[in-house]
Amino acid sequence: MVTASVLLVGLLAMTSTSVVVNSLRRSASDQQQAQAAMQAIVEDLHASAREADTAPANWAGEILNVYGPGGIPGNVFPVQGLDPWVGEAGVATVQLITDETVTDAVLGVAAGMPRDLDGDGAANNNDITGSAALLPAIVRVRWRGGAGQQQLTQVVYLLRY
């Protein structure tokens, strides 16, 4: 009887360990997918900033036409293999900052705002779309997984060359 109890406890411990290891493996895989998606979006943003530089007067406007709401591809992206948060349209989002006066507290990230984005020496312009020299972008990847709701956030600065 004691032997059977010891074997049963050992079997339960092995099963529990197997479940935990499998859950950790899935969580690590989700994290890698999210990081890869984040890197791809950031690289695309930088490429878009470089391409838009051919029209300096509307540099930020051209980037907004691509990564703003209604743009193509837009500001919300699916990420294959990851499920979005409940109520969210996609897993990844891009938020372009065109208001020099917005604060980090309002944005919810440490982006160094308010900040002079158009190079005039003051951070007082509510819309720098036509005059931006620096365009902050917040890239968020939010997904649901075995560990619940997860999020990666990265602030990227796009430069007009």
Q: How far apart are the first and last CA of the chain?
A: 78
- The pLDDT value given to residue 68: 83
Average confidence score pLDDT of the chain: 85
- The pLDDT value given to residue 70: 77
In the chain, the percentage of residues whose pLDDT exceeds 70 is 84
**Digit-coded pLDDT (tens) for 85-139:** 998 888 999 999 999 999 999 999 999 999 999 999 999 999 998 889 999 999 9
**Digit-coded pLDDT (tens) for 33-45:** 999 999 999 999 9
Q: How confident is the model at residue 74 (pLDDT cuts 50, 70, 90)?
A: confident
- The pLDDT value given to residue 116: 94
Closest alpha carbon to 94 in 125, 30, 49: 49
CA 150/CA 85 separation, integer angstroms: 9
The answer to whether the predicted template modeling score (pTM) of the entire model surpasses 0.75 is: yes
DSSP code for 83: B
Q: What angle do helix axes 2-52 and 59-67 make, rounded to 10 degrees?
A: 140
